[in-house]
Amino acid sequence: IKLFVGNVPEEATAEELSELFAGVAGPVLGIALMKQFAFVHLRDEAAAARAIAQLNGHQLHGRRIVVEPSRPRPTNTCKIFVGNVSAACTSGELRSLFQQYGTVVECDVVKG
């Protein structure tokens, strides 16, 4: 089961999130940590329900994280990777650049 974790502080690490979720939901099968959000993969629905109930609104480095079921990408969309992006580039700048070619559903700059 894949959960979405929002409002993740920049100083949070994948290891820290793994320990947090494992403490309430059992084994964590995987974590994908991006800037200010993450996806956490858990074994089953019961583990996901425990994580949502106990960790949604949990304070992490002074920020309340959002924990909810992951929703699939809208149909008729595609995901592209853009490499060699300047460290100074923001997601807003990328969105503006690509918006001229069609609606941008999601745009994230992953650093590190």
- What the block records as the tokens of 7 is 């409002």
**Residue in 42, 35, 32, 71 with CA at minimum distance from that of residue 55:** 42
Would you state the pLDDT for residue 90? Answer: 87
Q: Could you tell me the maximum CA-CA distance found in the chain, to the nearest angstrom?
A: 45
Would you state the pLDDT for residue 106? Answer: 82
CATH domain 2-69 topology: Alpha-Beta Plaits (3.30.70)
Contact indicator for 36, 6 with CB cutoff of 8 Å: yes
Would you state the pLDDT for residue 25? Answer: 97
Would you state the pLDDT for residue 67? Answer: 97
The gap from C-alpha 28 to its chain's centroid, in whole angstroms, comes to 15
Would you state the pLDDT for residue 73? Answer: 74
Contact indicator for 32, 4 with CB cutoff of 8 Å: no
| pLDDT < 50: residue spans in the chain | none
Where do the CATH 3.30.70.330 domains begin and end in the chain? 2-69
Would you state the pLDDT for residue 74? Answer: 75
